[in-house]
Structure 1
Amino acid sequence: MPLSGTSTPVPPSSAPALQADALCVFRGDRLVLDGVSLTLAAGGALLLTGPNGAGKSTLLRVLAGLRRADSGAVLWQGAPALADPAAHAARVAYLGHQDALKPGLSVRENLALFVSAGRGGDRARPEGDSLEAALTAMDLLPLADLPARLLSAGQKRRTALARVLLAQASLWLLDEPSLGLDSAAIALLGTALAQHRAQGGLVVATTHVPLPLPDTTTLRLPGAADTPLEDTPWA
């Protein structure tokens, strides 16, 4: 399926593709994640909400295999996901708070470097020039030859999202993906998310604001100062 255009998400299948079972993570003496469990089927999306410091980014890093949980397990299609770290890395596209672009390289060169490094790829590459398609999907063609150091925060974020598209991975783990994006770019993000889910892809995203991601499950991680009155979907 091409990286541009529109698509309607398919309903998730009944069989879970991603599971987390009773994850606990300590940072020093502080318990950051306390017995967190979740399940997500193909085509599904999960929003992680909660106050700053609740462990949303930590949970994403655990699901990505970038940090080991102190206890609990992450499963992919019923098997331990991290038993083969390379296989898990291939199925994950991770977007953190940092856009991780080389400032002296152009937008196109940053994306080409990612492709040449062989990052990600538990799916077949789409037909045609996938790099050009990713640039088009994030409206980056007019900026393709501009050095990354000259980009605005929103343009850098769109470049990082284009890298997620290029990964061709089944599981997208997105930490505040709309950070710095204007309304037009958020609409592009919504199209990309819908296409990914229509192909059976999974999305787990942290957010403090509404995302263009319909038919989702929400998991709120409690903070130290939480009270039941604060338990709102977009807090």
Structure 2
Amino acid sequence: MLALKDLSCERDNRMLFTGLSAEFGAGEVWHIEGPNGVGKTSLLRIITGVSRQHGGGLFWRGQPMAQQRYDFAQSLLYIGHLPAIKKALTAEENLQSLCPGATGGAIGKALAELGLYGFEEVPCYRLSAGQLRRVALARLALSDAAFWVLDEPFTALDVNAVSALEQRLQGHAAKGGCVVLTSHQRLSVPVNTLALGRYAQGGTL
């Protein structure tokens, strides 16, 4: 689905990584791992097009990304490290805004799956950090996007929510989707691993 060719990224006059090539295919879950500061979030921002400050190339379905940005955007669901939830709105209102085609029933089911049954009409300023994260992650059950990019999705989740999310990721891959994520947590589902530290400071170690 997405190929990275000889990718490099420099920040604050420091090379985060260079010589990075990888292919993320349908039916796969990829775990980007490495110590803090190695460039995991920077890589996700490059992949999603939030940042275009990089060397090398990106290819979507075999074509240069510059020619495929619209198709890629239609296929992408990106949930960053911050939940991007409007705290003045309820959980249901946030998801209606983020997922315009979702019905109230589908939203309620998505929230219940992550342990938020009964919180549909609660203003998000009253929710904990973990609950806000779960509201954001409910989008995974409501989106038709094939390519998911998730930055530290397990942050502030309890054991039950972690299990539900892992099942959701596995199910998405089983249906032909692709997931690329960062996490400091060891996953209990099968994943492909990209150790970003191998490409730090001048090349492969």
Structure 2 length as normaliser, TM-score?
Answer: 0.89
Alpha-carbon contact 2:9-2:18 (below 8 Å) kept: yes
Report the number of matched residues.
Answer: 200
CA distance in 2, matches of 1:195, 1:173: 15
> Who is 2:178 aligned against?
202
Q: List runs of 5+ in structure 1 lacking aligned partners.
A: 1-16, 119-124, 229-235
Q: Give yes or no for the alignment of 1:114 onto 2:90.
A: no
1:137-196 CA-partner distances (Å, limit 9, x unpaired): 323231111111111111111111012332321111111110000101001101211221
> Who is 2:143 aligned against?
167
Listed as ranges, the matches of 1:1-235 within 5 Å are 17-116=1-100, 129-214=105-190, 216-222=191-197
Structure 1 length as normaliser, TM-score?
Answer: 0.78
Structure 1 stretches of 4+ moved >6 Å = none
Q: Report the alpha carbon displacement of residue 31 of structure 1 after superposing the two structures with TM.
A: 1.2
Amino acid of the structure 1 residue aligned with 2:52: R
Q: Report the alpha carbon displacement of residue 128 of structure 1 after superposing the two structures with TM.
A: 9.5
CA RMSD of aligned residues (A): 2.1
Alpha-carbon contact 1:99-1:160 (below 8 Å) kept: yes
**Aligned in 2, Cα 1:62/1:85: closer, same or farther, shift over 3 Å?**
same
Q: List runs of 5+ in structure 2 lacking aligned partners.
A: none
Alpha-carbon contact 1:42-1:200 (below 8 Å) kept: yes
Alpha-carbon contact 1:99-1:157 (below 8 Å) kept: yes
CA distance in 2, matches of 1:70, 1:189: 31
Q: Share of identical aligned residues, percent?
A: 38
**Secondary structure of 1:219's match?**
strand
Alpha-carbon contact 1:90-1:169 (below 8 Å) kept: yes
Amino acid of the structure 2 residue aligned with 1:177: P
CA distance in 2, matches of 1:213, 1:82: 34
Alpha-carbon contact 2:16-2:39 (below 8 Å) kept: yes
1:51-80 CA-partner distances (Å, limit 9, x unpaired): 101000111111111111421111121112
Amino acid of the structure 2 residue aligned with 1:162: A
1:88-143 CA-partner distances (Å, limit 9, x unpaired): 22111111110111111100011011123x7xxxxxx8x99532332233232311
Alpha-carbon contact 2:149-2:180 (below 8 Å) kept: yes
